[in-house]
């Protein structure tokens, strides 16, 4: 990994750690595809986000409470 890429990844993790989702979303590629387990479900299945809007929804604290 190049130093530039490493710095970008570190910046994204730091933004997430601060709760700065807006900054995190600025740093990720607009066409990102992210696979994750949704802790909002008792038996989570793999979920896939495509793009910044879906990632923002997945990271929103309220979204965990509204899923069933």
pLDDT, tens digit, for every residue of 21-49? Answer: 999 999 999 999 999 987 778 888 899 99
Higher pLDDT among residues 37 and 62, named by residue: 37
Number of domains in the chain: 1
Q: Which two tokens stand for residue 16?
A: 């997430």
Give the predicted TM-score (pTM) of the model: 0.73
Q: Is the pLDDT of residue 66 over 70?
A: no
Q: Which spans in 1-68 are helix H?
A: 3-18, 21-27, 51-59, 61-66
pLDDT at 62: 47
Q: Which domain holds residue 42?
A: 3-66
């Amino acid at each position: 990994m190049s130093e530039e890429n490493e710095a970008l990844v570190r910046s994204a993790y730091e933004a997430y750690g601060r709760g700065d989702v807006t900054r995190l979303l600025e740093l990720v590629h607009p066409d990102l595809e992210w696979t994750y387990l949704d802790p909002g479900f008792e038996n989570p299945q793999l979920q896939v986000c495509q793009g910044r809007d879906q990632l923002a929804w997945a990271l929103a604290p309220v979204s965990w409470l509204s899923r069933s």
